[in-house]
Amino acid sequence: MTLYPELTDDARREMLRMMVLIRTYEEAILREYHADKSPGFDIGAGLIPGEMHLSAGQEPVAAGLALHLTTDDAMTATHRPHHVAIAKGVRLREMTAEIFGRETGLGRGRGGHMHLFDPETHFSCSGIIAEGLPPALGQAFAFQRRGTDRVAIAVAGEGAANQGAFHESLNLAALWKLPVVFVIEDNDWGISVPRAKSTSVTSNAVRGAAYGMPGIRVEENSVEGVYDAAGEAIARARAGEGPSLIEVHTLRLWGHFEGDAQGYRTDLEGVPGHDPLPTYRNALVARGVITDDDYATMQASAVERVEDAIDFAKGSPVPDPADALKYVFSEGAHS
């Protein structure tokens, strides 16, 4: 994998390509998720059952990080993990099979959409708010102790930044100079609660100072802003200079989870106009970095990869209920 320290046009194309891939993926999951839940939405029904938190609108965060990371770096994410998982390089087929609850999935169907674990890319996530952060410290700790320059990225929402685990993690990481980068995705909402009703400051970036850690806020859902901030923070971490905090003002394009009618949402009207995907595409076209044809190619190749993954998942065997107790422990009998 190429690392792009400078923001070249190649990097820009790569980021757009990543954003397109993610959006294509989320649209496909959206389609599959709802395909067989009617008439009358039944959350437990269909090929993809359960809660579904999609990340459309938050692609800039993922794409801006991706180019700075190698397979050996680690990432922990949240209940809304697809975009950053894709950016981290998690295999689409196995991830999709997990979301479909198949035996070929990352967790053999035991984990599900909020519990994607990929040892190959050191990716994991958790459905408990902010509790994905502490394990990232441990991965960073292992990297540090082994004298490598690997880093761990710990992603959380702005709602998570009011949770105790956030505070403890930032203090410990700063204290031990762990190679961690904390990335807060501020999409303005924690389910139905707007940031102003959850957070006593207007930007979590100011909270970095409470740990003696650089804190930076990337405005306007800017993928290039993320790229720059992440590049610097990751370089810092690799150089042994310790953790950083990056907050990105991003956008939750859809509901908190699928089925969310968003009656509480006051900003809904303006949302489509803020979609970062056409914005960035148009910017790159205008700057001559890509043509409309390039974009169409990106889309086509994304569709191909995504549909391949969906087909793989759908074609995979479902787990055998007789095996439900397998994998509680790695060794020894089930008690």
Within 92-121, which residues bind ligand TPP (CB under 6 A)?
A: none
CA distance 102 to 192: 32
Residue 89 touches which of Mg ion, its own copies, other proteins, none (Cβ within 5-8 Å per kind)? none
Binds other proteins (CB under 8 A): choice among 169, 222, 244, 250? 169
Does 190 bind ligand TPP (CB under 6 A)? Our answer is: yes
Show contacts with other proteins in window 266-325 (CB under 8 A).
Answer: 271-272, 275, 318-325
Phi, psi of 255 (to 5 degrees): -75, 170
The residue type found at 288 is: G
Q: Is 55 helix (H, G, I), strand (E, B) or coil?
A: coil
Smallest distance, other proteins to C-beta of residue 1, A: 20
Distance of closest approach, residue 142 Cβ to its own copies, in angstroms:
20
Determine the Cα–Cα distance for residues 309 and 164; give it in Å rounded to an integer.
37
Residue 122 in 3-state DSSP? Answer: coil
Distance CA 93, CA 40 (A): 30
Residue numbers 148-177 binding its own copies by CB under 8 A: 162-168, 170-172, 174-175
Binding span for other proteins by CB under 8 A among 1-9, 202-210, 234-242, 249-257: 249-257
Span 268-297, contacts to ligand TPP by CB under 6 A = none
Q: Which of residues 189-208 bind Mg ion (CB under 5 A)?
A: 189-190
Residue 323's identity, in one-letter code, is D
Per the listing, tokens 């190649």 go with: 10
Q: Cα(173)–Cα(59) distance, rounded to whole angstroms? A: 26
Q: Determine phi and psi for 94, rounding to 5 degrees.
A: -70, -35
Judged by CB under 8 A, does residue 28 bind other proteins? no
Select from its own copies, ligand TPP, other proteins, none the partner in contact with residue 189, using the beta carbon and a kind-dependent cut-off of 5 to 8 Å: ligand TPP
187 binds, among other proteins, Mg ion, its own copies, none (CB under 5 to 8 A by kind): Mg ion
Among the listed residues 333, 285, 277, the one whose alpha carbon sits nearest the alpha carbon of residue 26: 277
> Which C-beta is closer to ligand TPP: that of 79 or that of 102?
79
Instruction: Please answer whether residues 22 and 82 qualify as being in contact, where contact means their C-beta atoms are separated by less than 8 angstroms.
Output: yes
Among 3, 175, 239, 296, indicate the residue that binds other proteins (CB under 8 A): 175
- Per the CB < 8 A criterion, the answer to whether 74 and 122 are in contact is yes
Burial zone of 207 (CB within 10 Å; 0-12 exposed, 13-18 middle, 19+ buried): buried
The nearer residue to Mg ion, 158 or 258, going by C-beta atoms, is 158
Question: Cα(295)–Cα(287) distance, rounded to whole angstroms?
Answer: 14
Q: Which of residues 174-213 bind its own copies (CB under 8 A)?
A: 174-175, 197-201, 206-207, 209-213
Over the window 123 to 162, marking each residue x when it contacts Mg ion by CB under 5 A and - when it does not, the resulting string is: ----------------------------------xxx---
Quick check: bond before 272 cis, omega within 30? no
Considering only 1, 191, 206, 328, the residue that binds ligand TPP (CB under 6 A) is 191
> Which positions touch ligand TPP (CB under 6 A)?
79-80, 127-129, 156-160, 185, 187, 189-191, 252, 256
